[in-house]
Amino acid sequence: MSTTHDDAPLAAQVRHLEALLEERGWLAPGEIDERLDAFAAGGSPANGAAVVARAWVDPYFRARLLADGNAAIGELGFSMGGALQEQKLIVVANDADEHHVVVCTLCSCYPIALLGPSPSWYKSEAYRSRVVRDPRGVLRELGLELPASTRITVWDASAESRYLVLPRRPEGTDDLTEQELAALVTRKGLIGTAAV
């Protein structure tokens, strides 16, 4: 972990706490790093794309996904289990009248298990502050021009809850297989900063 001058005292406190937990036998040496590495290694935008493709071809799975994201992704072998706790997955579906976009205004909370590591722009202060105030303008800058009649809803992720956007299924894709549909889904589409 790299530190800057400003966060060096905090990093030292974290290392001290980790050492105390190891001394007391509550953590094995290096256990926190191992858990974080394992969690990050399993995450990929392909996971989120597989979830979306299944929702596009299976209306019953879609209903379960929107009602309880954690349980539904578990059916596909995915989990929102973090290094220390499971985060709640909330899935929001785009439709003809409403488009959803995800942000974490405090830091960079993000469903790593389904999307892999977050893009640098997602963590930037500019995105985090501006997408709440001017979502249409930010989406336009990112290449997504929505009709003026489309309502845009911004969802703010937190340490306990993560969001995944279920994009609209592209027209003319009725003959595609689930795997072919998954190949159409992008990470930006799953955040809501692009259409699929």
Q: Which residues are catalytic?
A: 104, 107-109
**Distance between CA atoms of residues 45 and 2, nearest Å:** 26
Q: How far is CA 81 from CA 39, 72, 78, 100, 147, in A?
A: 8, 14, 9, 24, 37
What the block records as the tokens of 93 is 């579906």
What the block records as the tokens of 77 is 């072998």
Going by C-beta distance under 8 Å and a sequence separation of 6 or more, which residues neighbour residue 15? none
What the block records as the tokens of 1 is 């972990």
Kindly tell me the number of DSSP H helices and DSSP E strands found in the chain: 11, 4
Radius of gyration of the chain (CA): 19
3-state secondary structure of 180: helix
